[in-house]
Structure 1
Amino acid sequence: MWLTRRAIAGVMGTFGPSLTGTRVEPVNSVLPDGRRVVGEWVYGPRVATAVNGAIYYVHGSGYTMCSPRTHRRLTSWLSSLTGLPVFSVDYRLAPRYRFPTAADDVRAGWDWVPRACGLPAERIVIAADSAGGHLSVDLLLQPDVAANPPAAAVLFSPLLDLSFELCAARELQRRDPAVRAATMARLVALYLVGVDPTHHRLKLDVAGGPPLPPTLIQAGGAEVLEADARQLAAEIRAAGGSCELQVWPDQMHVFQSLPRLSPEAPKAMTHAARFVAESLRAPERWVEHVGATRQAAG
């Protein structure tokens, strides 16, 4: 695991270095109830400290690898393109820390961010990649979060199905050039040891849950998690939420993080930044949409 973490960090550092001029402020804080929040504020070049919005970022890599440091290309890029600070939560990793540690750390980070930056939830956007997508959707489905949701969610290659049946079926159609479904399943299994896989925070009922905030999903057309992205988009819409799904042809898993390998990464990130900006300009329309959806359901 140590060698794998170093290898992944090396690849991300080589092909996705953070932007020159990025400022990073480490965070190690404690909430009033004793929960600890660890992470970092990332400010892209020329991004001011005091702004009327923020992004909460949840990194991926199978609950076992990576950190805010490895993902600084994504977070600094998002910050620079949107003009917003990004808080990247440093949740604890498996195999040392198992379910629900990562999910609980992500929830603690979400509870901390509005207090820390003095903003209501509707001025914050959640962004995530891979397993961070699963952690973020779990967060958004929690009743008190759903009652006071963020402005939007941006999910890069999100993981949905922890049984990896969707991945395995997708792999039969086209093999992923970077990763195998079985490898991903083994990594995630380190987080799930001794837990019923049908637990409601693992097998997420998106279609039967509360509407998620407006969501943008981007996935690569060459990756095994394309099927997860499509399924998640369909379930968000089935629950009454709004979801824009983009499948970028021939792109790999979280291609946005590796701009030196993917010429499509800047285009995808520009679109994501535009989605963030539009979501923060229109919170009233989202509140009206949720109210109408709940009234119709009731």
Structure 2
Amino acid sequence: MRQISTILPPERAWGLWASRQIVARVMDTFGPSLAGTDVEQVDVCLPDGRRVVGEWVRSATRTATDETRAIYYVHGSGYALCSPRTHRRLTAWLSRLTGLPVFCVDYRLAPRHRFPTAADDVRAGWDWLTTQCDLDPERMVIAGDSAGGHLAVDMLLQPGVPHPAALALLSPLYDLTFALARARETLRDDPAIRAADAARLIGLYCAGMDLNHHRLTLDVAGGRRMPPTLIQAGGAEMLQADARTLAADIRSAGGTSELQIWPDQVHVFQALPRLTPEAVPAMRKITAFIADALRHNTADRVAG
């Protein structure tokens, strides 16, 4: 993957198309089974005219899926490569393990749609769930991977956005300058991609923007306290430095953050159980974290 990403120029249409095809093939080949999965497409408008596109994924093998709770999933891959379709195996597995419906938002991709389009779409999805779907945000969990982690954290920093019961992040992107990733790269090469190539991909979304913009360089340490957060990252990936820094900043702001670095694992290894067996125990940790967060939130509300 590292060699392939080096020769595929994301700035060229053919290079971006090829990258999308390769990522989709990898996710399908090494992802979990889709057996027993129900998918419901969503394309609606909020009363203020904002459009929400995405899909509900439910496990048909669970006879008592709890529809009063849900997971809002924000997919990653550089704001330019992926979709709910590429992540369907992962979201279906998450639904099967937790017994909860998962809504994955289909935010618009770069380079056709640049900052802040993806962030706006993610916010619209959350607003739809919490105002039009009769879902209590305190009975929901937000999860995301890679750039989806950055989008989720950015949204939760905004004033007035209702917080979920918890936040679960897989290999989150935090530093869009890739200074943290480059420093990590001097110690160990990421087997999937170089920091310079990842920065070029992110540049499709941030083109023309100062990366010091407060919606791009996120002030987590000085901002709103995050909900209880679980962060997982692979020990072989460059973004483990982002994961460590984000976890520390959440704690600096008074929040709680559990950081798990899985030795020798690659970026978003949880999506590839047919490639890496560590995906299974990692997903069990995520499942237990979600169940515990929702249980504690419910107990606190009853006690209050």
TM range (shorter): over 0.9
Question: 1:41 and 2:56 equivalent?
Answer: yes
1:236 counterpart (240, 243, 250): 250
Shift of 1:73: 1.6
The AA in structure 1 aligned to 2:216 is L
User: Aligned-pair distance for 1:179?
Assistant: 1.1
CA distance in structure 1 between the partners assigned to 2:265 and 2:60 by the alignment: 27
Match of 2:144 among 125, 128, 139: 128
Percent identical pairs in the alignment equals: 67
What residue number does 1:252 align with? Answer: 266
* Partner AA of 1:214 in structure 2: P
What is the CA RMSD across the aligned residues, in angstroms?
A: 1.3
CA contact (8 A) 2:66 2:99 kept: no
Task: For residue 40 of structure 1, give the secondary structure of its aligned residue in structure 2.
Answer: strand
- Shift, 1:101, TM fit: 0.1
Distance 1:80 1:62 in 2: 27
Q: Deviations over 1:173-230 (max 9, x none)?
A: 0111111111110000000011111110000000000110000000000000000000
Question: Distance between the aligned counterparts of 1:49 and 1:263, measured in 2?
Answer: 27
The aligned residue for residue 35 of structure 2 is 20
1:168 to 173, 177, 182: 182
In structure 1, C-alpha distance between the alignment counterparts of 2:297 and 2:277, rounded to whole Å: 32
Could you list the runs of 4 or more consecutive aligned residues of structure 1 that deviate by over 3 angstroms after TM superposition?
47-50, 284-287
Give matches, 1:43-122, under 5 Å: 43-47=58-62, 48=64, 51-122=67-138
Task: After superposition, give the CA deviation of every residue in 1:28-81 in whole Å (9 maximum; x if it has no partner).
Answer: 010000000000000023245652210000000000011001001210111011
Q: Which amino acid aligns with 2:102?
A: V
Shift of 1:118: 1.5
- Partners of 2:168 and 2:232 lie apart in 1 by 8
Matches within 5 A, 1:259-270: 259-270=273-284
Q: Is the 8 A contact 1:219 1:248 kept in 2?
A: yes
- Matched AA of 1:57: Y
Aligned CA distance change for structure 1 residues 49 and 273 (closer, same or farther; 3 Å): closer
Q: Deviations over 1:222-255 (max 9, x none)?
A: 0000000000000000000000000000000000
The alpha-carbon distance between structure 1 residues 35 and 15, as it changes in their structure 2 partners (threshold 3 A), is same
Q: Is residue 153 from structure 1 mapped to residue 185 from structure 2 by the alignment?
A: no
Equivalent residue runs for 1:277-292 within 5 Å: 277-283=291-297
What amino acid does structure 1 have at the position aligned with 2:20?
R
The answer for unaligned runs of 5 or more in structure 1 is 288-298
Secondary structure at the residue paired with 1:202?
Answer: coil
Q: Which residue type is aligned with residue 187 of structure 1?
A: L
Distance 1:43 1:244, change over 3 A: same
Counterpart residue type for residue 157 of structure 1 = S
Once structures 1 and 2 are overlaid, which stretch shifts more, 125-134 or 177-186?
A: 177-186
Paired residue type of 1:198: N
Task: Name the structure 2 match of 1:186.
Answer: 200
Letter in 2 for 1:32: P
How far apart are the structure 1 equivalents of 2:238 and 2:148?
Answer: 16
Count of residues in correspondence between the two structures: 285
Query: CA distance change for structure 1 residues 142 and 176 in 2, over 3 Å: closer, same or farther?
Result: same
Residues 65, 99 of structure 2: 8 Å contact kept: no
2: CA distance between counterparts of 1:52 and 1:83?
A: 11
* 1:198 correspondence with 2:212: yes
The TM-score with structure 2 as length reference comes to 0.91
SS at 2:18 equivalent? helix
Whichever residue aligns with residue 58 of structure 2, its letter is: Y
> Which stretch shifts more, 5-14 or 224-233?
5-14
Tell me, yes or no, if the aligned pair for 1:214 and 1:286 is still in contact at 8 Å.
Answer: no
* Distance of 1:150 and 1:9 partners within structure 2: 29
Segments of 5+ residues of structure 2 without an aligned counterpart are 1-15
Contact 1:157–1:254 (CA<8 Å) still a contact in 2?
yes
